[in-house]
């Protein structure tokens, strides 16, 4: 077993950019800024190009440089003008530098370009005073400034280690799909605790509602912060006391980070930073493993959605929860559920039940024996073909044993989708299901296993149900 | 449909004793008292024979006269002397009058005799002042005196109606088996509400913790009474404010009484007083009805116990609850359970589950990811042949999907009894089971159905699961 220091040194050698890489990205940054100024001037548009984000702060990982070029426009510019002109500038800049681009949407449309293998986001924001935010991106300059003023050279390496660790265990990224930790959050954690190891040590004792408040905005009134921020981890934004930098972190991601932190500290290993390749089962192996476990899988495959990833995943997770909730309300025991998408051709929901059918009989609790509803209850169940036993009296309530009409989960799900019953499937997902929908179980799932590499990996991961960093060395 | 008055008149004609019957029982009472005085004198024992109970109060039902002959002895007599001498007197009295007797046990041993088809209990008690009770029977003279002083002639008929109604619906009797209403309780209810109909009307609006307090002991402090008496119905004893006359009434019996009261008032019928004969299924009909319902019955037959009924039923109910609790803790869904005994040759427990087996897999919630127990948990489940999936992280806890080892309820119950695992079976029941035990399910139960008339009725009642007074006319 390597020591923690040895592992960290190995990782740092892989993630700290070389002087050549820094110079190369630096040159691109300068070219981007110059070109953007030139294009803004052409349009007669006052837009100050600045680079914020991980490049500016020096916390990017070798081979993964992302350049965030912000076009800062005066506050009096209309949103429409800002959007239109910054798109034009962005497109022209990327093209002039020999790259290609696509239009992306966040709060505003923006340009995502690729130049010499480096991703460049060209994003407009308003030049405002701190606190007088007009758009979400307006905070970025202040974030960059805050970190740059405080993060020492060694701190940058520590941020890189933390980011790589989080990427390795799958908790990095504040996007909806991941629901994890942003880069800025990593930087604040290093500022708070001093180093990578110290963050992991601290994470071992975080409790629900733990507060990190670098600027002491909630000094002496932590309960106020907990009322304002409902999330399990609270990291007050040093440039905006009304914002939780960790608001995107979902409970499972937080738990995974805390679990991995503890295990890594006890047994340091490269696999936390670079997950080992997954074991891949053959179709036959998959099939026999699946049939042996004795549970019931329901795989729902459906057509792609033409929406940005955050919208896709927002609707995916919400619709998946609706399906689980529906099955639970019907009496099924949902063990786990998961969503998968290749963000282009195929989407999937997977639900695991402890068994496919419900018991044929169920107790039905009636009204109190002295209530007015007694007569209606007795009229309904005394002569009813679904009544198996009773009614009898338990305590002060009527009880009857009834035959259950629908006992098969797969049939029930098929019927729900066929009749388009309202169970909470979101609109875009429902539309996609109208275009193409398959509901598979048992042996049918093995066929889907051979259909797509991504889907097979998803099914394998679900079968194993264990984070890769937990696999034995 | 007869009116309520018509039904009551029909019933009264059946239950009010004729003058001949009153005279016959009265003559027996006088003979008993005279003989008892004579026997006491012979023994040189100061024991004043008095008749209390329903005969003294004139609230007994035609054909069901019970004579409670109390031998009142001075408070200075030792319990042993009281017991020995009163037994001797009792035996001599019954034999002198040509009856036969057996020794029964309550707080003290006593003589239960049968003379000319009439049951006679000869019971010792101490002559004490009110409140200075030395034995439970000491209150009887005061109860009788209280009722006699207040109950008018018409009230006696009303008490009889109420008793017959309670017998008809199966809630009469403060014995452990029944857990219902005593005769004294019926009398107090009539004193409180004035008549049979009025008691039923009042019962429709009883709520948990309803208090009847004829002497106003808890006037203005009803919550105190509810703290002292945990039972669902509280009827403060007019001769002892520390005693709830309804303490024996179990919640199901109370619910049944309240339900039947409401239904009877809405649709008066003789069947509430005299339950219709049960439909009896043939063995084949029983078998096919049972197999169609799709649930799982487990019938446990065992040897008789040589104990008095109250001890038998106390141990029966408590052991039955233990079996249900055990099955529920194992994850089974117990729909209903019941105990049966012919109080002599055979005893039975019957449990109905919604199905016989548990799912093959179960989620097991582990410790919080940051707890010290994490390592032990992972060591146990990462390489474990029972681990189907995981461990993974849900919120801040480890979770693992495990193979369930024992999934068959019948096998589990057989194993528990074979290994004599401690699940709460009471001692006398366990001893009886050592002598003879059968655990039957499905088709095996049909064989038992043909074995005993009483058992067959019990199984039929369970199958129907509906009080006889609920059957349609």
**pLDDT score for A405:** 87
Beta partners for B172?
A: B181
Residue B177 confidence (pLDDT): 96
pLDDT digits (tens, 9 = 90+) for B46-90: 888 999 889 999 999 999 888 999 999 998 989 888 888 899 999
Q: Does B372 touch chain A (CB under 8 A)?
A: no
pLDDT tens-digit readout, A157-194:
999 999 999 999 999 999 999 999 999 999 999 999 99
* CB contact (8 A) between residue B370 and residue A251: no
pLDDT score at B421: 82
Tell me the pLDDT of chain A averaged across its residues: 92
Q: How far apart are CA A455 and CA B65, in angstroms?
A: 82
Distances (CA, A) of A136 to A141, A155, A297, A428: 11, 26, 41, 25
pLDDT value at position A1?
62
- The answer to whether A376 faces chain B, any CB pair under 8 Å, is no
Burial class (CB in 10 A: 0-12, 13-18, 19+), A247: middle
Dump the DSSP string for B84-148.
HHHHHHHHHHHHHTT-EEEEEESSSEEEEEEETTEEEEEEEEEE--TT--SSGGGGHHHHHHHHH
Is A335 in Cβ contact with B363 (below 8 Å)?
yes
Cα four-point dihedral sign A216, A217, A220, A222: negative
Task: Give the nearest partner residue to B391 out of A333, A392, A466, using CB atoms.
Answer: A466
Q: What was the pLDDT predicted at B280?
A: 84
Let me know if A372 is exposed, middle or buried by CB neighbors in 10 A (0-12, 13-18, 19+): exposed
Q: How many CA atoms lie within 13 A of B270 on its CB side?
A: 14
- Helices (DSSP H) in A122-250: which residue ranges? 140-150, 153-169, 183-193, 196-203, 222-228
pLDDT band at B471 (very low <50, low <70, confident <90, very high): low
Distance CA A162, CA B132 (A): 80
Sheet holding B233-237, edge to edge: B210-212, B233-237, B240-244
Strand pairing class (B296-302; B437-441):
antiparallel
Q: Answer whether the bond into residue B391 is a cis peptide, omega within 30°.
A: yes
The closest CB to that of A393, out of B252, B383, B401, belongs to B252
Instruction: Give the dihedral of Cα atoms B322, B328, B329, B332; nearest 10 deg.
Output: 140
Q: B327: buried, middle or exposed (CB in 10 Å: 19+, 13-18, 0-12)?
A: buried
**HSE on the CB side for B61, CA within 13 Å?**
20
A-contacting residues in B 308-347 (Cβ below 8 Å): 333, 335-336
Structure tokens at A411: 């049939």
CA distance B206 to B226: 14
The pLDDT score that the predictor gives to residue A137 is 87
Which residue bears the tokens 């408040």? A213
Residue A274: pLDDT band (50, 70, 90) is very high
DSSP string, A224-270: HHHHH--SSEEEEETTEEEEETTTT--HHHHHHHHHHHHHHHHS--G
CB contact under 8 Å between A359 and B396, yes or no, is no
Query: Predicted confidence band at A457 (pLDDT cuts at 50, 70, 90)?
Result: very high
Average pLDDT over residues B406-432: 92
CB burial class (10 A; 0-12, 13-18, 19+) of residue B231? middle
Burial of A322 (0-12, 13-18, 19+ CB in 10 A): middle
* Three-class secondary structure of residue A120 per DSSP: strand
Distances in Å between the Cα of B456 and the Cα atoms of A162, B286, B287, B319, B441 are 73, 9, 12, 22, 15
Is A290 an 8 Å CB contact of chain B? Answer: no
Cβ-Cβ contacts under 8 Å for B60 (sequence gap 6 or more): B17, B25, B54, B66, B160
Displacement of CA B42 from its chain's centroid (Å)? 40
User: Binning pLDDT at 50, 70 and 90, where does residue A322 land?
Assistant: very high
A354 touches chain B (CB under 8 A): yes
Please say whether the dihedral angle defined by the alpha carbons of residues A422, A423, A426 and A432, taken in this order, is positive or negative. Answer: negative
- What local confidence, expressed as pLDDT, does residue B306 receive? 87
Residue by residue, DSSP assigns B342-401 as -SSS-EEEEEEES-SB--SEEEEEEEETTSTHHHHHHHHHHT-TTEEEEEEEETTEEEEE
pLDDT greater than 60 at residue A385? yes
- Cβ atoms < 10 Å from Cβ of A427: 10
Would you state the pLDDT for residue A431? Answer: 93
CB contacts under 8 A, A 177-206 vs B, are 203-206
Bridge-based pairing of strands A66-74 and A118-127 is parallel
CA B409 to chain centre: 28
Within 13 Å of residue B49, how many CA atoms lie on the same side as its CB?
A: 25
Residues of A in contact with B388 (CB under 8 A): 293, 295
pLDDT at B165: 98
Distance from CA of B353 to the nearest CA of A (A): 9
The per-residue pLDDT for A189 is: 98
Task: Answer whether A179's CB lies under 8 Å from A316's CB.
Answer: no
pLDDT in tens, A337-374: 999 999 989 999 999 999 999 999 999 999 999 888 99
Taking 70 as the threshold, does the pLDDT of residue A461 lie above it?
yes
Chain A contact for B295 (CB, 8 A cutoff) = yes
- What confidence score (pLDDT) does residue A135 get? 86
The per-residue pLDDT for A450 is: 84
Q: Among A46-50, A177-181, B152-156, whose mean pLDDT is lowest? A: A46-50
Confidence class for position A308, pLDDT limits 50, 70, 90: confident
User: B262, A370: Cβ pair inside 8 Å?
Assistant: yes
Query: Range with the lowest mean pLDDT among A233-237, B115-119, B237-241?
Result: B115-119
Question: Using 50, 70 and 90 to split pLDDT, how confident is the model at B353?
Answer: very high
Which of A266-275, A350-359, A443-452, B321-330 bottoms out in mean pLDDT, i.e. has the lowest? Answer: A443-452
Q: What is the pLDDT of residue B108?
A: 80
The angle, 0 to 180 degrees and rounded to 10, between the axes of the packed helices B183-193 and B153-169 is 130
Q: What is the pLDDT of residues A387-412, one digit of tens each?
A: 999 899 999 999 999 999 889 999 99
* pTM for this prediction: 0.81
pLDDT tens-digit series, residues B266-318: 999 999 999 988 778 898 999 999 988 889 999 999 999 988 889 999 999 99
pLDDT at site A354: 95
* pLDDT at site A44: 87
Q: How confident is the model at residue A278 (pLDDT cuts 50, 70, 90)?
A: confident
The ipTM (two decimal places) reads: 0.89
Pairing of strands B100-105, B109-115: antiparallel
Asked if residue B370 has pLDDT above 80, the reply is yes
Residue A296 has pLDDT above 90, yes or no: yes
Alpha carbon distance A71, A174 (integer Å): 22
pLDDT at A195: 96
Does B389 sit within 8 Å of A464, measured CB to CB?
A: yes
Residues of chain B in contact with residue A255, where contact means CB-CB under 8 angstroms, are 369, 393-397
pLDDT at A471: 67
**What is the model's pLDDT at position A71?**
92
Tokens of A217: 């905005």
What DSSP string runs through B16-55?
A: SPPHHHHHHHHHHHHHHHHHHHHHHHHHT---EEEEEHHH
Please report, rounded to a whole number, the percentage of residues in chain B having pLDDT higher than 70.
Answer: 99
Out of B203, B333, B470, closest to residue A391 by CB: B470
Distance (Å) from the alpha carbon of A14 to chain B's nearest alpha carbon = 29
Best probe of the A interface among B171, B267, B359, B387, by most A CBs < 10 A, is B359
Residue B212 · residue B188 · CB < 8 Å:
yes
Q: Name B450's Cβ contacts closer than 8 Å, sequence gap at least 6.
A: B283, B456
Q: Half-sphere exposure (CA, 13 Å, Cβ side) for B3?
A: 3
Q: Please indicate if any CB of chain B lies within 8 Å of the CB of A3.
A: no
Contacts of A36 (CB under 8 A, 6+ apart): A47, A49, A69, A71, A89, A93, A122
Q: Does B388 touch chain A (CB under 8 A)?
A: yes
Across A220-234, average pLDDT:
93
Nearest residue to B189 (alpha-carbon basis) of B172, B176, B168: B172
Other C-beta atoms within 10 Å of B281: how many? 18
Residue A136 confidence (pLDDT) above 90? no
Spatial distance between the Cα atoms of B297 and B353, rounded to a whole number of angstroms: 6
CA A268/CA A165 separation, integer angstroms: 11
Please indicate whether, in this complex, the C-beta atoms of A393 and B256 are within 8 angstroms of each other: yes
pLDDT band for position B458 (cuts 50, 70, 90):
very high
Tokens of B279: 């439909």
A217 lies within 8 A of chain B by CB: no
The pLDDT of residue B198 is 97
Residue B114's pLDDT band (cuts 50, 70, 90): very high
Is the pLDDT at B40 greater than 80, yes or no? yes
The continuous run of DSSP H or E covering A129 comes out as: none
Q: What is the mean pLDDT of residues A307-330?
A: 94
Dihedral angle sign, alpha carbons of residues B439, B443, B448, B454: positive
Taking CB atoms and an 8 Å limit, are B252 and A397 in contact across chains?
no
Residue contact A208–B396, C-beta within 8 A: yes
* Distance between CA atoms of residues B65 and B28, nearest Å: 11
What is residue B1's predicted lDDT score, i.e. its pLDDT? Answer: 62
A112-146 burial string, b = 16+ CB within 10 Å, else e?
bbebeebebbbbbbbbbeeeebebebbbbbbbbeb
pLDDT tens-digit map of B203-217: 998 988 999 999 999
Closest residue on chain B to A370 (Cα): B204
| pLDDT for residue B174 | 93
* Residue B473 pLDDT greater than 80, yes or no: no
CB-CB neighbours of B160 under 10 Å: 26
């Amino acid at each position: 077993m390597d020591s923690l220091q040895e592992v960290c040194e190995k990782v740092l050698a892989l993630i700290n950019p070389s002087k050549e890489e820094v110079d190369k990205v630096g040159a691109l940054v300068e070219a981007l800024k110059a070109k953007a100024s030139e294009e803004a001037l052409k349009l007669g548009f006052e837009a100050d190009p600045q680079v914020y984000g991980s490049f500016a702060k020096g916390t990017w990982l070798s081979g993964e440089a992302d350049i965030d070029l912000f076009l800062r426009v005066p506050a009096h510019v209309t949103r429409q003008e800002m959007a239109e002109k910054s798109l034009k500038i962005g497109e022209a800049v990327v093209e002039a530098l020999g790259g290609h681009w696509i239009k992306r949407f966040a709060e505003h449309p923006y340009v995502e370009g690729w130049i010499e293998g480096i991703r460049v986001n060209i994003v407009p924001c308003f030049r405002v005073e701190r606190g007088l935010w007009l758009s979400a991106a307006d905070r970025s300059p202040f974030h960059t400034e805050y970190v740059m003023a405080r993060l020492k050279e060694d701190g940058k390496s520590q941020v890189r280690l933390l980011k790589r660790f989080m990427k390795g265990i799958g908790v990095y990224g504040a996007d909806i799909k991941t629901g994890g930790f942003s880069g800025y959050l990593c930087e604040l954690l290093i500022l708070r605790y001093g180093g990578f190891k110290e963050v992991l040590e601290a994470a071992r004792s975080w409790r629900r509602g733990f507060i990190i408040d670098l600027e002491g905005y909630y000094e002496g009134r932590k309960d106020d912060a907990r009322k304002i921020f409902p999330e399990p981890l609270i990291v007050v934004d040093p440039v905006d006391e009304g914002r939780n930098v960790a608001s995107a972190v979902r409970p499972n991601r937080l738990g995974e980070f805390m679990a991995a932190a503890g295990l890594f500290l006890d047994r340091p290993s490269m696999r936390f930073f670079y997950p080992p390749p997954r074991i891949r089962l053959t179709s036959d192996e998959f099939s026999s493993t699946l049939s042996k476990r004795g549970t019931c899988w329901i795989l729902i495959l459906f057509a792609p959605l033409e929406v940005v990833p955050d919208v896709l995943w927002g609707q995916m997770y919400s619709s998946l929860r609706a399906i689980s909730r529906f099955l639970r309300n019907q009496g099924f025991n949902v063990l786990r559920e998961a969503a998968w998408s290749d963000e282009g051709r195929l989407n999937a929901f997977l639900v695991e039940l402890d068994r496919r059918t419900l018991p044929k009989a169920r107790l039905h609790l009636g009204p109190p024996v002295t209530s007015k509803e007694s007569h209606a209850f007795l009229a309904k169940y005394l002569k009813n073909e679904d009544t198996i036993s009773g009614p009898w009296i338990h305590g002060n309530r009527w009880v009857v044993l009834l035959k259950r009409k629908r006992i098969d989960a797969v049939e029930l799900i098929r019927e729900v989708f066929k009749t388009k019953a309202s169970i909470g499937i979101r609109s875009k997902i429902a539309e996609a299901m109208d275009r193409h929908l398959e509901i598979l179980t048992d042996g049918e799932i093995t066929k889907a296993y051979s259909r797509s590499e991504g889907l097979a990996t998803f099914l394998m991961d679900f079968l194993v149900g264990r984070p890769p960093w937990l696999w034995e060395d």
